[in-house]
Amino acid sequence: MLRIKVVCFLLFYLFSIPSIAQVKWPANQLLPSFPAPAKVQDFITLRDSSPYSSAEMYLFASLKGIVNRTKPRIFSYEGDAFAEGPYTWLQSLGLSWAEPADKWDLIAKYRSEISGVIVYDPAQEHTINLATVLAKSKGALIASPLLLAKLTAPPYNLPVLLDLQGKFSSKLEIYQSLYDTYWPHLDHRLLVGLNPNAHKAALREYAVALGSAVIWLDPDVAGESELLNKFLSSMSPGAVFMGWWPQEGPGVQRASKYGIATVASDWCSNLTVHSGTSRKVKIKPIPSRPALKNKIYVAFILSDGDNLQFIEHLMRKLWNNPDRGAVPMGWTVSPAMLDAMPGALNYYWQTSTSNDNLISGPSGYGYTYPNTWTDENLLKQFVAKTEDYNARAGLRVITIWNTITGGINPNVGNIYQGQAKLLLGVTAQNTGGGLTIYNDSLPGMALTCNYCTNEQAMKDHIARAAAGWDKTSPRFMIIQAQPWQGVTPTSFKNVAN
C-alpha cells in the first residue's frame, strides 16, 4: 500500500509541477529559444498611471523574466491605441489563460523561484538598467523603494540582495561600472537598448530572462559615444542590438559601422512567450507570375516590419482589416521572427491570402545601413545569414535602407546578389531612382514613395511616376507606406480603385 501511495505521489508531482527547461541559444542562431510556454498562462495587465503603477511595471517585468526563463507562464498586456487586444495572441497561438484577482498573487505563487529583490535608486534612474542586468544571476525582482516595505513583509518576505541607492552619482558612472565589472562575463552576442524612464516593462522581461547587458547611451553625446563604442567594438561577430536608440539614424548608423544590426523591439511585451513557440513554419508557395504586358504596374508595401513590436501589436491589428487580401500588398516582417516569434510568423503565413506577400524589412535580419559597414567580410556574413533566415521564413524580397532616403552602393548590391541567391529583388530608399541590376542578376528598384503617410500622398506619387508614359513598354513603381498614421489594407484598396 505504501509503495502505491509513493508512486501516486510521484505521478502527481510530475504532472502538476511544470518541467524546468533551459533557454537554448545554439552558436549559429541569432536569438535564443525559450522553453515551450505553458498551455495556461497567468494573464496580467500592466498600466503606467501613477508612481506606484510605474514601480509595479518594473517589478512585474522582472517577475516575468525570472519565471518565464525556465517555463513561460506569465503573459502581460500593456496595449495602447496601436495594440492588438489583450487576448489576441493567446488565442492565435492556441493558449489559454487565467487572470489572478490581484497580480501580486503571482509573487506569492512563484515565491519559491525568487531569491529576493534588487533596489534601484530613483535619483539615478539608470540603475534600473543595471538592476535588469543583475536580476537573472541573483534570481531577483527589480524593486522601487516605494514597494520595499510590502515586498519584505509577509506573505512575500523577500530579502534585499542588493541596494543600489546612493551607489552612483551619474549615468556614465553606472554604465562604466556595467562595462568594467559585468560586461566581460555576459554574452556578447546581444546588447539591449532601453530607456529606463520610458521602457518600464515591455522588452525588459526578455532582458531579465537572458541577463543581457542593458544600456541607454546616445552616440551624439560626448562621453556616452565613447563608452558606446567600447560596448559595440567588443561584441561578437554577427551580434545584434535589440530594443532601440535615443535617436534612430545616429544609433542605427553607429551600430552599422561595427557590423551590428538593430532588431527593433523595445515595446515588445511577451517575447519570452513568443520565443518558446514551435519553430515549425509552414510557408505558402509563391503565386505564379502573370505574363508581362504594356501596363503600369504598382506594388504596395507596408513598412516597419523590421520592428518586432509592430509585428506583435499594430500589424496583428491591421491583419484583421476586412479589406486585407483585396489587393496584392507586401507586409514587411523580420527574419529574426524565426527565433523571436516563430509561432507568430507561422500564424501570419497560415492566415495569409494569395495577395498577402511577406517580405523582409530593412535590411535583412536586422535594421542596418549596409553602405556604412566598414568590414566587407562581416557584411557578406550578414547577408548570408539573412539569406539562411529568409529561406526558412519564406521571404524572397528585402527592403534595404541606407539612412532614410539613401540608395544602395554598387558594391553592396553586388554583395547581396552574391550571398543571397534566392532573392527575387531588393528595394532602395533613393526615391524615384529607377532600376539597377546587380551582377546582371539581382534587380534593385528604388521606391516611388518611401514613406507615404496617406492615400492622397500615394495617389500623387503614382501620378507623378506615371507622367509621360508612352504605353509601348511596361512601367513599374513601388509605393511604400508607413502604418503609424492610419494607412491600412483599405487604404491600398482605395488607391488601387
User: Per residue in 285-329, pLDDT tens?
Assistant: 988 888 999 999 999 999 999 999 999 999 999 999 999 999 999
Q: Which cell numbers hold the place of 329?
A: 500588398
Residues 223 and 362 in one domain: no
- Asked if residue 142 belongs to a domain, the reply is yes
Question: What is the number of domains present in the chain?
Answer: 2
Digit-coded pLDDT (tens) for 334-344: 999 999 999 99
C-alpha separations of 13 from 18, 37, 269, 443, 444 in Å = 9, 19, 31, 60, 59
Residues 377 and 238 in one domain: no
Q: Residue 214: which pLDDT band, with cuts at 50, 70 and 90?
A: very high
Q: Which cell numbers hold the place of 153?
A: 513583509
- Asked if residue 337 belongs to a domain, the reply is yes
- Asked if residue 51 belongs to a domain, the reply is yes
Check residue 2 and give its pLDDT: 43
Task: Quote the domain boundaries for residue 191.
Answer: 40-274
Last-in-domain residue among 243, 274, 305: 274
State in Å, rounded, how far the first CA of the chain is from the last one: 78
Last-in-domain residue among 228, 243, 274: 274
Digit-coded pLDDT (tens) for 104-141: 999 999 999 999 999 999 999 999 999 999 999 999 99
Check residue 290 and give its pLDDT: 87
- Asked if residue 227 belongs to a domain, the reply is yes
Q: Is the pLDDT of residue 21 over 90?
A: no
d(CA 236, CA 82): 35
The type of residue at 436 is T
Residues 164 and 82 in one domain: yes
Q: Residue 1: which pLDDT band, with cuts at 50, 70 and 90?
A: very low
Closest to 121 measured CA to CA, from 146, 91, 92, 150: 146
Residues 251 and 319 in one domain: no
Percent of the chain with pLDDT over 70: 96
What is the domain-level CATH number for residue 402?
3.20.20.490
Residues 268 and 362 in one domain: no
Contact 133, 182 (CB under 8 A): yes
Check residue 263 and give its pLDDT: 98
Digit-coded pLDDT (tens) for 53-110: 999 999 999 999 999 999 999 999 998 889 999 999 999 999 999 999 999 999 999 9
d(CA 121, CA 60): 18
Q: Is the pLDDT of residue 30 over 90?
A: yes
Q: Is the pLDDT of residue 469 over 80?
A: yes
- Asked if residue 103 belongs to a domain, the reply is yes
Check residue 12 and give its pLDDT: 39
**Mean pLDDT over residues 428-450, rounded?**
96
Check residue 20 and give its pLDDT: 64
Residues 171 and 241 in one domain: yes
Residues 197 and 336 in one domain: no
Mean model confidence pLDDT for the chain: 95
d(CA 333, CA 397): 11
* Spatial strand order in the sheet of 96-98: 74-77, 40-45, 96-98
Residues 330 and 433 in one domain: yes
Residues 443 and 396 in one domain: yes
Residues 240 and 164 in one domain: yes
Q: Is the pLDDT of residue 480 over 90?
A: yes
- Asked if residue 281 belongs to a domain, the reply is no
Whose grid coordinates read 527565433? 339
Check residue 4 and give its pLDDT: 42
Residues 368 and 474 in one domain: yes
Task: Give the sign of the dihedral formed by CA 59, CA 61, CA 66, CA 72.
Answer: positive
- Asked if residue 32 belongs to a domain, the reply is no
Residues 447 and 319 in one domain: yes
- Asked if residue 6 belongs to a domain, the reply is no
Last-in-domain residue among 274, 309, 335: 274
